[in-house]
Amino acid sequence: MAGSQSDPANSERRLVAVYPGSFDPLTNGHLDLIHRGARVSDHLIVAILRNTNKQPLFSIEERAEMIREVTASLPTVEIDSFEGLLVDYAARRNANAILRGIRAISDYETELQMALLNRRMRPETETIFLMAAEEYSFISSRMIKEIVMLGGDVSRFVPEPVSRRLRAKSVR
C-alpha cells in the first residue's frame, strides 16, 4: 500500500478549502465555521464574494479587515475576495474543496443544488458541508442588518470588532 492515498505516510496531498460568502457582516456563525474549517483543512481561504448586484453594508476592504482581525490567531486562514464562478476561483487558487455551512433544511436544498452544479463544472473540487453549531443556527447576515437598522443590539451574534463597526455605521 506504499504511496496510496490511504497511506498515512503519503503527506503530499493537502486539503485546500475555500469558504465563500458575502460576510456582510461576519457573524459568530461564520466565525465558528472558519475555526472548524481551519481544523479540518491544511489551508482555508475565506473568500469574500464581490457581488455587484447587491448594495453591501461594508466594503470588501472593511469586511476583509474585520475577518483578518478576528482570525489573526489562525495561521492557516487566508482572506481574499473574488467575483465570477466559485469553481473558477477555486481552480485559480488550487483549492480542492469548497466549505459550506448548513443551518437548516432550506439551506441544505440550496447548497445541494450548488454543490451538484459545481461538481459538474469542476469534478476535482469537493464540497464539504459543516452543520452550524446549534447556538448559531438561526443567525444570518440579513437578520443582523435588519436588527441593526431597527436599532437593536447584535453584540451577542457578531464578533466584537464587527459589533463596534455596526454601531459606528448605525450612528451616521
Selected catalytic residue, list 41, 100, 122, 141: 141
Q: What are the distances in angstroms from CA 100 to CA 11, 41, 154?
A: 25, 13, 23
Has 43 been annotated as catalytic?
no
Q: Which of the following is catalytic: 36, 100, 103, 122?
A: 103
Grouping H, G, I as helix, E, B as strand and the rest as coil, residue 143 is: helix
State yes or no: is 155 an active-site residue.
no
122 in active site? no
**E strand or H helix at 55, and its extent?**
none
The one catalytic residue among 22, 30, 41, 122: 30
Would you give the end-to-end CA distance of the chain in angstroms?
64
The active-site residue, picked from 50, 54, 92, 142, is 54
- Name the residue type at position 47: A
Active site positions, annotated:
30, 54, 103, 141
